[in-house]
Structure formats: structure tokens, C-alpha cells
């Protein structure tokens, strides 16, 4: 644990701060909405005197959110939400600016957990989570801190699923806002952002050509759809696997071939999981995979590809045949390539979603936290992002790109508000 400007931190190298500042500055240029909110927060101080414990991917974009929260008056304690996604330069820059940061790229499970405890040691009033590990730790291991927590905000589908299970069992002790499902987040972050950044991660790790390649995308939620469309846009032949009939039908109607994984396994050349579930590529699929098949995961946790089965089956593991690409040699001579150790490929092998995308996601979370700070008598449980915040974010995003839209005329308003008017 190091100390920088009075804040306890655990970072890889304080000497990286300047490089981190440059990276954050580049992200800031493409985050106009968050910049605007930071300005408003600086004058209105909606988070004055509050402590925020955050468990997020420690990236340049996250640093911009942290700066917004601090401008609003909050003290921020930041832990990494994935052991491999931390940008060490960014962690150093934040620590140098007095943020308590607990994040080093490549830490083991024990240190990862310790870092979450370090952030919780702040005794937070508000929490921000990405995947649910902080909220889980808070409830399971630090219940004495729960009474002080006014509310929380969760940004991933995976984390929100966990929150809903907790709420159903009556275990969730405070109001938690599901920031995964706003219309703006689904459009921007899940589909466009993840679609692009996952392909970016695969290409940086492998440098393969996608045109003409058979790509199997497991899961056709917003993220899976984005990935499938991005791969098709680059000329890949995309097969989709699903367990949900509505989503499978959606994939069919959008022109994708839909197959069960057992049938996709022998034909796929690149597999990308985006389901939020586990064992999507399991031991039973390994015998069918082609020599040279590439396996990547886009889901939050590293459980979608059964890495243990792969390790147990392989006779030889060659780490890093390229950065973020490990080769598993099977007894029959086939080689399987696993990207980013089966962890979230866009954040490990690339830089996650671009700043323009995270602008929308984080602007919404900043406003949610400011709303939670003011909200009175909000019951414990999972709450939706207030629609007014979603609309405000959409309006600000349009304005920041110079896009103008029409307004209803009084006659149109009257027509739409009355059932008595006939055309």
C-alpha cells in the first residue's frame, strides 16, 4: 500500500502518472456530456461531504467519472472490477490527484478481494459497482457498513441479475439503481460500444482477418447482437447460438444463422461468448472444435468458457503466443487459442468501450448518484433509472453533437393527448 497526497492507494507504479494524465485527457475530449455535468456538479456540489466507494474497470473513461464525482463534492475510493482490465497509468494519475485507488493490472484473486475491502474501508454513503462484487462483499462480509449506505448504482446486466436475486430474497439492504437497462445505455454501450470493442479486442490479440471467417456468437442480447453485427460488418459469416426463443427469432429475422452450440462447434473458427451464463463452451464441446479455433469471452465473468476443462484436456499450454493469446495443445494435435484467459476480451485485450460511449454510460451514473444523494425514503430494492435522467442524457448527447430535433406543434400535442379526436 502506498500513500500519495494523503490518500491510501495500492497501484503498480506512481511514476506512470504523467502517461495516465495524457490518456485521461484524450478520453475527456470525447466525453462532452460528462464534461458538462462535471461543470454543473462543480457549481452545485450535489455530493458534498459524501463518500463514494466504486468498483469499476480502472480506465481513462472511469477516471473522467471519478473527476465528475469529486467535482460534485464526493470523496471517491476506487477498486478495480476485474483483475486484468486496470490501466496502470490511469490508476497512477488518479492516485497522484489524491483519489484512493486500489488497482493493479494482473493481481491475484486474493489481492483483488482485498482491494474491494480497501474501498469499503471508507465507510461509503454511496456505492457504484460493475458486476456486483463490491455489493456482494458489502452484504456478505461487511454488514456493519450497510446502515450508512444511502444507495448504489450497478452498470452491468450481470450485476443487476445478482441484485435482483438479492432483492427477491430480501437481502438487499439499500436502494440500488439498475443502470444497465436505460435505452441510451442499451443503444450506445451494449450494442454499439461492446460490438466494436469486442471485435477490437479480438483483432488486437490475434490480428486475424474477419472477412470470410465463420464466427460463432453465443448470446443475442444487446451485447451479442452488437458483436454479431460488427463481425458481419467486417465480412464474417456469423452463426448465433441462443437459449431464449425470442432472441433466437430476432437473430433469424436479422439474417443470422442460428444453431445449437453442439452444431456450431465443428464449423466455427472464432467463438465469442456474450451470454452472462456459465459453461457456454464446455468440456463436451472441446472434441468438436477445429484445429486453430479461437475462443473469446465478452461477458463480465470468466465462466462462459470452461477454462478448467481446457486446461485439464490440454497436454501443453503455451502462454502468450501473442499478447493476450494462449495456445492449448490437445492430445490429438489440435491447437485451441484462448484470448484474455477467458476474461472480458474488450477490456483486457483492448481498451473497453470508446470514451464517446462511456460518456453516455457514466453521465447517466453521475446523475443517478446525485439523484440518490437527494432522494428521500427510497425503499431498499432494485430501481430503474428515472426516465427523466435517460431523456436528459439523450438530449445532452444530441446537443453535444450538434444534432437538432423537431418539437410537437400544439395541434400535434392535442391530437396525441386526446382519444376523442379522429383523423
Task: Between 129 and 306, name the residue whose CB sits nearer to ligand ADE.
Answer: 129
CA 377 to chain centre: 29
Bridge partners for 237 per DSSP: 214
In the bound complex, what is the minimum distance in angstroms from residue 230's beta carbon to ligand ADE?
Answer: 15
CB atoms within 10 A of CB 377: 5
Closer to ligand ADE at the Cβ: 23 or 57?
Answer: 57
**For the chain, how far is it from start to end, CA to CA, in angstroms?**
70
Q: Which stretch binds ligand ADE (CB under 6 A): 40-48, 175-183, 330-338, 347-355?
A: 347-355
Pick 62 or 67: Cβ nearer ligand ADE: 62
- In the complex, minimum distance from the CB of residue 281 to ligand ADE, in angstroms, rounded to a whole number: 22
- The verdict on 358 binding ligand ADE (CB under 6 A) reads yes
Taking the least distance from each CB to ligand ADE, the nearer of 4 and 365 is: 365
Strands 270-273 and 237-241: unpaired
What is the spatial distance between Cα 417 and Cα 408, in angstroms, rounded to a whole number? Answer: 12
- For ligand ADE, give the closer residue by CB, 37 or 337: 37
Kindly tell me which residue out of 353, 356, 364, 400 binds ligand ADE, with binding defined by CB under 6 A. 353
| Cβ neighbours of residue 233 closer than 8 Å, sequence gap 6 or more | none
190 lines the binding site for ligand ADE (CB under 6 A): no
The candidate with the shortest Cα–Cα distance to 156, out of 81, 76, 51, 60, is 81
Alpha helices in 121-193 (DSSP H): 133-141, 157-168, 183-185
Q: For ligand ADE, which is the closer residue by CB, 53 or 314?
A: 53
Number of chain residues interacting with ligand ADE (CB under 6 A): 9
Q: Among positive and negative, which fits the CA dihedral 410, 415, 418, 422?
A: positive
Nearer Cβ to ligand ADE (24/107): 24
Q: Which is nearer to ligand ADE, 59 or 275 (CB)?
A: 59
**114: enclosing H helix or E strand:** helix 109-120
Binding segment for ligand ADE (CB under 6 A), chosen from 41-49, 121-129, 350-358, 375-383, is 350-358
Q: Quote the radius of gyration of the chain (alpha carbons, Å).
A: 22
Q: Does 299 bind ligand ADE (CB under 6 A)?
A: no
Kindly identify the residues of this chain, within the stretch 23-82, that bind ligand ADE according to CB under 6 A: 56-57, 59, 61-62
- Cβ neighbours of residue 245 closer than 8 Å, sequence gap 6 or more: none
Task: Give long-range contacts, CB 8 A cutoff, 24+ apart: 253-259.
Answer: 254/225, 254/228, 254/229, 256/220, 256/228, 256/232
Say which DSSP state 398 is in: H
In angstroms, give the least distance from the CB of 144 to ligand ADE. Answer: 29
Given 131, 195, 268, 352, the residue binding ligand ADE (CB under 6 A):
352
Residue 35, number of CB atoms within 10 A of its CB: 17
Shortest Cβ distance from residue 226 to ligand ADE (Å)? 12
Q: Can you give the binding site for ligand ADE, defined by CB under 6 A?
A: 56-57, 59, 61-62, 347, 352-353, 358
Amino acid at each position: 500500500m502506498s500513500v500519495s497526497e494523503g490518500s491510501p492507494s495500492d497501484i503498480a507504479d506512481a511514476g506512470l502518472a504523467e502517461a495516465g494524465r495524457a490518456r485521461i485527457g484524450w478520453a475527456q475530449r470525447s466525453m462532452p456530456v460528462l464534461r458538462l455535468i462535471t461543470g454543473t456538479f462543480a457549481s452545485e456540489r450535489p455530493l458534498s461531504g459524501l463518500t463514494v466507494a466504486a468498483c469499476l474497470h480502472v480506465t481513462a473513461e472511469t477516471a473522467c467519472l471519478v473527476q465528475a464525482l469529486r467535482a460534485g463534492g464526493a470523496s471517491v475510493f476506487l477498486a478495480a472490477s476485474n483483475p486484468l482490465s486496470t490501466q496502470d497509468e490511469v490508476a497512477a494519475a488518479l492516485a497522484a490527484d489524491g483519489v484512493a485507488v486500489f488497482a493493479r493490472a494482473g493481481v491475484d484473486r486474493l489481492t483483488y478481494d482485498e482491494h474491494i475491502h480497501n474501498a469499503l474501508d471508507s465507510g461509503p454513503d454511496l456505492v457504484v459497482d460493475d458486476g456486483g462484487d463490491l455489493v456482494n462483499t458489502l452484504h456478505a462480509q461487511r454488514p456493519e457498513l450497510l446502515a450508512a449506505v444511502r444507495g448504489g448504482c450497478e452498470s452491468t446486466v450481470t450485476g443487476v441479475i445478482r441484485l435482483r436475486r438479492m432483492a427477491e430474497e430480501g437481502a438487499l439492504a439499500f436502494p440500488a439503481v439498475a443502470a444497465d437497462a436505460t435505452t441510451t445505455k442499451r443503444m450506445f454501450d451494449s450494442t454499439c460500444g461492446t460490438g466494436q470493442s469486442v471485435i477490437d479486442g479480438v483483432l488486437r490479440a490475434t490480428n486475424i482477418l474477419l472477412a470470410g471467417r465463420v464466427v460463432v456468437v453465443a448470446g443475442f442480447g444487446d451485447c451479442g447482437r452488437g458483436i454479431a453485427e460488427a463481425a458481419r460488418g467486417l465480412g464474417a459469416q456469423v452463426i448465433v447460438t441462443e437459449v431464449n426463443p425470442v432472441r433466437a427469432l430476432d437473430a433469424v429475422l436479422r439474417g443470422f444463422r442460428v444453431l445449437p452450440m453442439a452444431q456450431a462447434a465443428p464449423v466455427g473458427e472464432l467463438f465469442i461468448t456474450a451470454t452472462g451464463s456459465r459453461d457456454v463452451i464446455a468440456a463436451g464441446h472441446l472434441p468438436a472444435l477445429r484445429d486453430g479455433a479461437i475462443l473469446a469471452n465478452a461477458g463480465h465473468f470468466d465462466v462462459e468458457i470452461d477454462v478448467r476443462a481446457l486446461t485439464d484436456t490440454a497436454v501443453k499450454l503455451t502462454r502468450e503466443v501473442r499478447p493476450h493469446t494462449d495456445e492449448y495443445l490437445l492430445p490429438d494435435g489440435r491447437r485451441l487459442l484462448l484470448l484474455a484467459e477467458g476474461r472480458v476480451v474488450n477490456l483486457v485485450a483492448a481498451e473497453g468501450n470508446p470514451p464517446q460511449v462511456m460518456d453516455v454510460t457514466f453521465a447517466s451514473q453521475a446523475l443517478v448518484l446525485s439523484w440518490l444523494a437527494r432522494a428521500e425514503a427510497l425503499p431498499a430494492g432494485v430501481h430503474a433509472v428515472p426516465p427523466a435522467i435517460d431523456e436528459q442524457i439523450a438530449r445532452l448527447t444530441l446537443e453535444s453533437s450538434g444534432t437538432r430535433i423537431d418539437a410537437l406543434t400544439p395541434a400535434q400535442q392535442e391530437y396525441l393527448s386526446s382519444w376523442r379526436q379522429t383523423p
